[in-house]
Chains A and B, each alone.
Chain A
Amino acid sequence: MEIAITGTNAVTYPNLHIWDWRIAIYLFLGGLSAGLMVMSSISNLRKGKDVAMDKACCVRGPLIAPLILAVGMFFIWLDVERKFNTFWFFLTFQPLSPMSWGSWGVGIIIPLSFCYGLSTVPEEMRGMLKYDILKLLSAKLHPYMRRLAMINFGLGIFLGIYTGVLLSAFVARPLWNSSILPLLFLNSALSTGAALLIMMAKRPSVKLFFTKIDIWLIFAEIVIIFLFFYGHYTSTGPQRLSIMPFFSFTSEYFFYAASIILIWILFPLALVLKLMEVKEEHGDTLTSSQLFKMKLSAVMVLLGGLIIRLAFLYAGQLSRLS
């Protein structure tokens, strides 16, 4: 028992600090996995694909996506206070709780996405699978690859939206409580997924294909971020106050102001770099300067995605209704 009872009040306990970088990493990796699922599905469903040449997008991408999600899940498990009680997530379904939707959703997505990954492995590449059971599964699932790709596309969209809904469902946190946030997170998820595939792809034509997709996604992301802040600024008092850390250049809120400046530098710069890439003449092989620009812009997009998750997660916990 404390000797002095002061009570918790605005002075002694000003802000909620419950979720930290572990949740931000989970949101980022969940989004990246969602984007990879969608983009790798597009890779396998589009006409003119060449699995032997586009191994990175058509085979490795689908196989990596569930692994990235599993790593993200590990981070959320690290954040949970009672780690050995997590089985309770799967003994009930709470239809009003986004986290319940998420735990069941991720529980379904990881195995289905893994099945899709296995189905994409063509016969001549099955030797790279270590275990016989995986080779057998891959052979059995291969005929259903297109259907699994379509399902995977839908699941990727669900996962991308879910990472935003997880935060936007809290009426108590005005910064998060916006229907634009799930759209922003979905857009960012797709953009980071495309960026990762640009880095992984070997063929210049595939790299350019995803670069063109990413141009539209980055443009949309810039518009959505602007609308998010504009919507909050023109909304109620608590919502207007909730975005102020991003525009307060004081030492207390330096991280938030820096993050918004970084986002406004990284995305437009990545957009310009990508526009330069698509305008250039490309042969069968890319020059080292072209490769550098592609990779640099992809890294910028990935970094921007991570900054968005970190900044929004922390800033949301500073915001309150009263």
Chain B
Amino acid sequence: MPKYAMVIDQRRCVGCMACVVACKTENGVAPEHFRTRVVETVEGDFPKLRMELRSELCNHCDHPPCVNNCPTGASYKKDDGTVQINRTKCVGCKACLAACPYDARYMDPDKGYADKCTFCEHRLKEGKEPACVGTCIGKSRIFGDLSDPKSAVSKLLRENDASVRIKEAGTLPRVYYIRKLGKAE
């Protein structure tokens, strides 16, 4: 059984937002909502500033608080490590939205269920990579199987100092970040 994970190499992100567009198109994400986003943050004191571009999405955590807090079992962890939603079972109580430290979930305004990134589950079944990964022109998003030591994600994690978001939440995310920021200029 694969252990899917994503590595985001922030050194290669150019902030083109193609991943955001690809995701919305592929998954028919409702207007004003996003399954993935590119957050732009500026650090430092003027004039010595530097910008960070950070792609954010569902972290498909190994200890997912959204799954633990779901009262109906609609949110569940699959054997391949991805966190998915059974939309039929979702009652729209919004507990998973409150539980997610990454604010990765939203309520579908038309259907009323909670929604989020699925790592493009339908594409994975066809042997394709997620839409955001396929469209990334800078090759900043890399997707693969952690249980395969030859996969691109395993190799990147071996060779780089990767981190995860909000580690102190103890959720054990499956989205890793390779972050190397230059000096403020």
- Using CB atoms and an 8 Å cutoff, list the residues of chain A in contact with chain B: 1-2, 5, 7-10, 13, 16, 18-19, 79-82, 85-86, 88-89, 91-92, 94, 96-100, 102-103, 169-173, 236, 317, 320-322
Q: Contacting B112 at CB < 8 Å: which of A81, A96, A169, A236? A: A81
Contact A172 B65 (CB under 8 A): yes
The chain A residue with its CB closest to the CB of B112 is: A81
Contact B72 A89 (CB under 8 A): yes
Residue count of chain B within 8 Å CB distance of chain A: 45
Q: Contacting B90 at CB < 8 Å: which of A85, A94, A173? A: A85
Number of interchain pairs (Cβ within 8 Å): 120
B112 CB to nearest chain A CB (Å): 4
Contact B72 A7 (CB under 8 A): no
Q: Contacting B24 at CB < 8 Å: which of A5, A16, A96, A170? A: A5
Contact B72 A172 (CB under 8 A): no
Q: Is B151 an interface residue (CB 8 A)?
A: no
Contact A170 B113 (CB under 8 A): no
Contact B72 A19 (CB under 8 A): no
Q: Contacts of A8 on B, CB cut-off 8 Å?
A: 33-34, 37, 103
A74 CB to nearest chain B CB (Å): 15
Q: Contacts of B74 on A, CB cut-off 8 Å?
A: 88
Contact B41 A10 (CB under 8 A): yes
Q: Contacting B98 at CB < 8 Å: which of A13, A18, A85, A321? A: A18
**Segment from B4-12, B133-141, B153-161, B166-174 that makes contact with A:** B166-174
**Further contacts, 16 of them, CB under 8 A, given A2-B32, A97-B95:** A10-B41, A16-B103, A81-B93, A88-B72, A88-B89, A91-B72, A94-B70, A97-B71, A99-B69, A100-B72, A170-B98, A170-B99, A172-B103, A320-B101, A321-B166, A322-B101
